[in-house]
A and B are shown apart, each in its own frame.
Chain A
Amino acid sequence: MTIQTPSGSQEVLSRRSILRVGAAAGGGLLLGFYSPAADAAGAAPPSGAPFAPDAFIRIDRAGKITLVMPQVEMGQGVYTSLSMILAEELDAAFDAVAVEAAPPSDALYGNPVFGIQATGNSNSVRAFWKKLRLTGAAARAILIQAAASQWKVDAPSCTAANSEVIHAPTGRRIAYGALADAAAKLTPPANPQLKDPKNFKLIGKPLKRLDTPDKVNGKALYGIDALPPGVKYAAIAASPVFGGKVGHVDDTAAKTMPGVRQVVVLDDLVAVVGDHFWAAKQGLEALNIVWNDGPNVHVNSEQIRNDISAASEHEGAVAKSRGDAARALKEGDAIEAHFEMPFLSHAPMEPMNCTVHVRPDGCEIWVGTQVCARTQAIAAKVTGLPLDKVIVHNQLLGGGFGRRLDVDGTEKSVRIAQKVDGPIKVVWTREEDIQHDFYRPMYYDRITASLKDGRIDGWKHRVTGSSIMKRWFPLGFQHGVDIDGVDSAIDEPYDIPNMRVEFVQHEPPAVPTGFWRGVGPNNNVFAIESFIDELAHKAGKNPLDFRLEMLGKTPRLKAALELVAKKARWGDPLPPRVGRGIAAQVAFASFIATIAEVEVDEQGDVRVRRITSAVDTGIAVNPDTIVAQLQGGLIFGLTAALYGEITIANGRVQQSNFNDYRMLRIDQTPAIDVHLIKSGEAPGGIGETGTTAAPPAVRNAIYAATGIALRRMPIDREVLAGRKPA
């Protein structure tokens, strides 16, 4: 299989006519497509047209099958899992399919959950599961119909397999490519017959990923690898203080340096253009920039923490109310705790970058983005060009984790490119990348609960933090509640008769916030599962039994918890200062129970010895990818728990690179065992689930090992060593 260079939007928007010409000339490709959403949006061409731009599947006369990927590949294996879904219902020979990145279009390639073209929230498989199955099945149906007509037999007497239609009674078979012309003239069925899952040939098999061969030999192309002819390179500096502006720039020294071509001074940033990135970076370092720091120069982390704590004392907007939480908390023996989460940077291994060529009549962009259409739109806005004059070549992403759901990088790069003659590749240094992120918000959670007969009777959870939805997707912020901010809090899994969940929107001064792997559940699962352990302790119960007794309404999580307890040998004796901790979660529509085994030494150093997870994620499209995502997600979460914190002083981020914004390394990585539970339920999300599971599991293991109940991430070794109060 091959991964083709993505098409530009210009080509796609006019593809119908281009391809009609191609077909008339005897080449080209001909199969019509099926997309219920695009039909509904009025975006589809008239029924029976030879070609439509809302294509997920293309079949040419030579039989080459191209699957167009609406979601971007950033390591989560989505090119493979979505291809498997399409190829399953299409009965395509999987090892011969080609994969191509979709061009920008919310209407044609919008994520059915968001309505815009976005890859995030661990929902690619969930969101496209039905749509891609219907698409594949509709294509198969018209291919079979075309063959049946040619053979003058009934369609139901034909079957399909390996990109061929077969008529078993007469032993005839014909390849899809030979049927493409005829099939293109047929109208796809409105309700094509989907396969019974027991007949799946691809889904459920651990297939090799389509994108990995080129990732072990240096051939895979990420955004940062774009090399349009004549490209120059830019290094940039934005104001170190959030919101600051450029005051004065002395570029005398920089301009004399070999390889430095141009200095671009904008309102909020300075860029040095060079023949290569080294020259650009050297030039940037030789500049003398005076910044106007602006109003945020006194912003610091301590004040932000005090402010969010104060904000959390006020009643919030009610996100969920069941029974009478106020009465239950008054009558019962209530305990209260608060939990805190720090700002975090994404730090994908591929630093932010964007290559742009602005011409008077058009703009071309090479970038890896989680939001292709928004990337096109921001470039159109900055340049004043119509959308169809902005071509976006979406590249593989060297990690996304939510960072590439924002288009600030493209916006800045286009503004720089407007001042430069020819294509310009703008690359963020790691320092610039970490200091100018959209940070995972700081959160402050207050939870109060009461016990009755050893179970939770009353529960009040108030989440305080930034609303990312309000900025990024306003529909997700209504009546004061950010639906992401309370995700996994309003639908928590335990049988609690009286509960109330509130959200307090509190924006930090100056610090921009954005989605970060695990999103809302990251905060909520940590707070809830940490507090559940404290409640178990108060009830005098084993944390496993305490949870199991309250999971009546959530049998899939209960089964996962029972399995993980067995696999992790819950209850087996452990040496001193070693403990096991549980995290049980329903997040992204997956049911996952995790046990961490952790050792804490006298100096407060934490060693995670082992992590075991049991996962019910419904139908596992590619089981090996699901295991890989759990392994990686847990490690991402461990990094956050052990090291992750962005702090602010004098209005600027204090961390700058991997020396002071640490990542977990291989020598600190525990053994990880992931156990998949077979399920016939619809697929759940998986990419972010390990990240939400690791911090509470480790925190609870530390609680078991030391008796110290940490309430804040990251883990503070000073507290564990007894040098600082908890």
Chain B
Amino acid sequence: MIKLHLNGQVREVDAPADMPLLWVLRDLLGMTGTKFGCGIAQCGACTVHIDGKSVRSCLLPVGSIGNRAVTTIEAVGETPAGAKVQRAWLDLEVVQCGYCQSGQIMSAAALLAATPHPDDADIDAAMAGNICRCGTYVRIRAAIKKAAGARQD
């Protein structure tokens, strides 16, 4: 059994140590908010936070996480940055099909937690690993700026 510190709870899962966290979340724990997109850390749909930093869960062996805190889209709204990102996403109507947006929101929340007032280059660097096939990038950029502005309130 592997012990996971997941969204503020301790969960035990019967998984091989080399099984990527993505499939542990989706197929063993039934937490389907984290998405499978490419399996090779090229698209960012599977992004989660490990100790607040964005990580692609499709290549992250569950046995390598140890005591570090895992946060997924299901709980990121409980963090200040995550809540502001979700609010901005809805205010600016970022989402289209929505499949990539769990990952986009996780990357954006990690960015804002580390860099409260990102400039365009910061946004490019933090978000270029997340593909959106619907092409919502213009609004993603605007929403991150809006969420960053809201932090000053």
Which 5 A-B residue pairings sit nearest by Cβ, starting from the closest? A218-B33, A635-B135, A398-B99, A75-B97, A215-B98
CA distance A276 to B129 in the complex (A): 26
Of residues 133 through 152 on chain B, the ones whose CB sits less than 8 Å from some CB of chain A are 133-141
- Chain B contact residue count (CB 8 A cutoff): 56
Residues of B within 8 A of A665 (CB): 127-131, 137
> Is A663 touching B127 in the complex (CB atoms < 8 A)?
no
CA distance A209 to B96 in the complex (A): 9
Q: List 26 A-B contacts (CB under 8 A).
A: A77-B96, A215-B98, A216-B98, A216-B105, A217-B77, A218-B34, A222-B99, A224-B32, A224-B36, A276-B19, A276-B23, A277-B27, A347-B133, A350-B35, A399-B134, A429-B39, A629-B96, A632-B136, A633-B135, A636-B134, A657-B42, A664-B137, A665-B128, A665-B137, A666-B127, A667-B124
> Is B36 touching A216 in the complex (CB atoms < 8 A)?
no
Given A211-B98, A218-B73, A658-B28 contact (CB < 8 Å) = no
Which listed residue, A217, A400, A671, touches B138 by the CB 8 Å rule?
Answer: A671
> Is A666 touching B137 in the complex (CB atoms < 8 A)?
yes
Given A349-B35, A349-B132, A218-B72 contact (CB < 8 Å) = yes
Taking the complex as formed, is B90 at the interface, i.e. its CB lies under 8 A from any CB of chain A? yes
Residue of A nearest to B102 (CB): A218
CA distance A399 to B16 in the complex (A): 32
Taking the complex as formed, is A205 at the interface, i.e. its CB lies under 8 A from any CB of chain B? no
Given A218-B102, A430-B38, A628-B93 contact (CB < 8 Å) = yes
Taking the complex as formed, is A22 at the interface, i.e. its CB lies under 8 A from any CB of chain B? no
B residues adjacent to A (C-beta < 8 A) = 16, 19-20, 23, 26-28, 30-40, 42-43, 45, 72-74, 77, 86, 89-90, 93, 95-102, 105, 123-125, 127-141
Given contacts A216-B90, A667-B124, 16 further A-B contacts (CB under 8 A): A75-B134, A211-B95, A213-B90, A215-B98, A217-B86, A218-B31, A221-B32, A277-B36, A278-B23, A278-B27, A349-B43, A398-B98, A657-B39, A657-B42, A665-B137, A666-B130
> Is B128 touching A76 in the complex (CB atoms < 8 A)?
no
Residues of A within 8 A of B39 (CB): 429-430, 657
> Is B123 touching A75 in the complex (CB atoms < 8 A)?
no
> Is A76 touching B96 in the complex (CB atoms < 8 A)?
yes
Residues of A within 8 A of B73 (CB): 217-218
B90 CB to closest chain A CB, in angstroms?
Answer: 6
> Is B131 touching A636 in the complex (CB atoms < 8 A)?
no
CA distance A658 to B44 in the complex (A): 11
Chain A window 177-220, contacts with chain B (Cβ cutoff 8 Å), 1 for yes, 0 for no: 00000000000000000000000000000001101110111111
Residue of A nearest to B89 (CB): A216
Residues of A within 8 A of B32 (CB): 218, 221, 224-225, 227
Residues of B within 8 A of A227 (CB): 30, 32
Taking the complex as formed, is A51 at the interface, i.e. its CB lies under 8 A from any CB of chain B? no
Residue of A nearest to B31 (CB): A218
A344 CB to closest chain B CB, in angstroms?
Answer: 12
> Is B98 touching A219 in the complex (CB atoms < 8 A)?
no
Residue of B nearest to A215 (CB): B98
Residues of B within 8 A of A427 (CB): 36
Residues of A within 8 A of B105 (CB): 216
Residues of B within 8 A of A208 (CB): 90, 93
Taking the complex as formed, is A348 at the interface, i.e. its CB lies under 8 A from any CB of chain B? yes
> Is B33 touching A75 in the complex (CB atoms < 8 A)?
no
Taking the complex as formed, is A258 at the interface, i.e. its CB lies under 8 A from any CB of chain B? yes
Given A76-B96, A216-B95, A666-B140, A399-B133 contact (CB < 8 Å) = yes
> Is A218 touching B135 in the complex (CB atoms < 8 A)?
no
Which listed residue, A277, A398, A663, touches B131 by the CB 8 Å rule?
Answer: A663
Residue of B nearest to A350 (CB): B99
Given A276-B23, A278-B20, A349-B45, A212-B133 contact (CB < 8 Å) = no
Taking the complex as formed, is A84 at the interface, i.e. its CB lies under 8 A from any CB of chain B? no
B80 CB to closest chain A CB, in angstroms?
Answer: 16
> Is A348 touching B72 in the complex (CB atoms < 8 A)?
no
> Is A398 touching B93 in the complex (CB atoms < 8 A)?
no
> Is B27 touching A276 in the complex (CB atoms < 8 A)?
yes
Of residues 529 through 543 on chain A, the ones whose CB sits less than 8 Å from some CB of chain B are none
B70 CB to closest chain A CB, in angstroms?
Answer: 14
Taking the complex as formed, is A252 at the interface, i.e. its CB lies under 8 A from any CB of chain B? no
Of residues 624 through 678 on chain A, the ones whose CB sits less than 8 Å from some CB of chain B are 624-625, 628-629, 631-636, 639, 657-659, 663-667, 669, 671-672
B151 CB to closest chain A CB, in angstroms?
Answer: 18
> Is A217 touching B33 in the complex (CB atoms < 8 A)?
yes
Residue of B nearest to A275 (CB): B27
Residues of A within 8 A of B34 (CB): 218
CA distance A276 to B21 in the complex (A): 12
Residues of A within 8 A of B101 (CB): 215-216
Given A217-B33, A349-B133, A635-B137, A658-B100 contact (CB < 8 Å) = no
Residues of B within 8 A of A29 (CB): none
Which listed residue, A212, A219, A233, A658, touches B33 by the CB 8 Å rule?
Answer: A219
Greatest chain B CB density within 10 A among A216, A632, A633 is at A216
Given A657-B38, A666-B130, A397-B23 contact (CB < 8 Å) = no
B106 CB to closest chain A CB, in angstroms?
Answer: 10
B31 CB to closest chain A CB, in angstroms?
Answer: 8
Of residues 378 through 407 on chain A, the ones whose CB sits less than 8 Å from some CB of chain B are 396-401
> Is B96 touching A278 in the complex (CB atoms < 8 A)?
no
> Is B98 touching A75 in the complex (CB atoms < 8 A)?
yes
CA distance A666 to B134 in the complex (A): 12
Residues of B within 8 A of A669 (CB): 135, 137-138, 141
Chain A window 270-290, contacts with chain B (Cβ cutoff 8 Å), 1 for yes, 0 for no: 000001111000000000000
> Is A216 touching B131 in the complex (CB atoms < 8 A)?
no
Given A276-B23, A628-B139, A667-B124, A212-B98 contact (CB < 8 Å) = yes
CA distance A401 to B133 in the complex (A): 10
A574 CB to closest chain B CB, in angstroms?
Answer: 22
Given A218-B73, A666-B140, A659-B27 contact (CB < 8 Å) = no
